[in-house]
Amino acid sequence: MTSDSTTQPDPRLTLLQGTFEFEGRDSVVLDLSTEEARKQASATPLTLKEGANYRVRLTFRVSGELVSGVRYLSQTFRKGLRVQKDQQMLGSFGPQDRPHEVTVPRHGWEEVPSGLLSRGSYTAKGTFTDDDGVELGAWEWAFDIKSSW
């Protein structure tokens, strides 16, 4: 078998930014539009106050053709062990002039864990897949849970 050295086609889903929205506090926007920006997001931890309510708004662009059955998988790790896994069906998205935005969770807020044992450093990975299980895009970020902002 020979290896194919042709370039990969343009991605069908391109991540642009991740916005962490907090109840009663300013949002934090992470640029995800380039590989370098995604590396920066994973290298610079956000500080989350234990017990705070938050949600994540993801902005992305779809190119080429309709992407059906988009799912978003979020996994959180502490000291290399997975401590949380959530998956949501987001729907189908077609190419358009304006970027698409989705909010996770779709309704309401998530609560940052609280208590002495939950404080510490975490990493997380978000992955978009289509209905065939093909990965469309991924990003990683780091955060610290602390008793105060």
Confidence category of residue 3, pLDDT binned at 50, 70, 90: very low
Q: Report the pLDDT value the prediction gives residue 12, as an integer from 0 to 100.
A: 85
pLDDT at 129: 96
7 pLDDT above the threshold of 60: no
Q: Which of 29, 94, 86 is nearest to 59 (CA)?
A: 29
Quick check: 4 pLDDT over 60?
no
Whether domain 13-146 has CATH 3.10.105.10: no
pLDDT digits (tens, 9 = 90+) for 106-149: 899 999 999 999 999 999 999 999 999 999 999 999 999 999 98
CA dihedral angle for residue 129, residue 89, residue 95, residue 12, rounded to 10 degrees: 0
CB atoms within 10 A of CB 120: 12
3-state class (DSSP) for residue 45: coil
Q: Residue 57 above 90 pLDDT?
A: yes
For tokens 């077609």, what's the residue? 94
- 8 A C-beta contact, residue 123 and residue 43: no
Q: Supply the pTM of this predicted model.
A: 0.86
Position 77 confidence tier, pLDDT thresholds 50, 70, 90: very high
Strand partners, 20: 28, 56
| Whether residue 99 has pLDDT greater than 70 | yes
pLDDT in the model for residue 10: 59
Q: Which of 4-13, 51-60, 91-100 bottoms out in mean pLDDT, i.e. has the lowest? A: 4-13
More confident position, 132 or 8: 132
Q: Which tokens in the block code for residue 132?
A: 């065939």
Residue 2's pLDDT is 46
DSSP state of 142: E
Contacts of residue 96, defined as CB under 8 A and 6 or more positions apart, other chains included, come to: 62
- The 3-state DSSP class for residue 33 equals coil
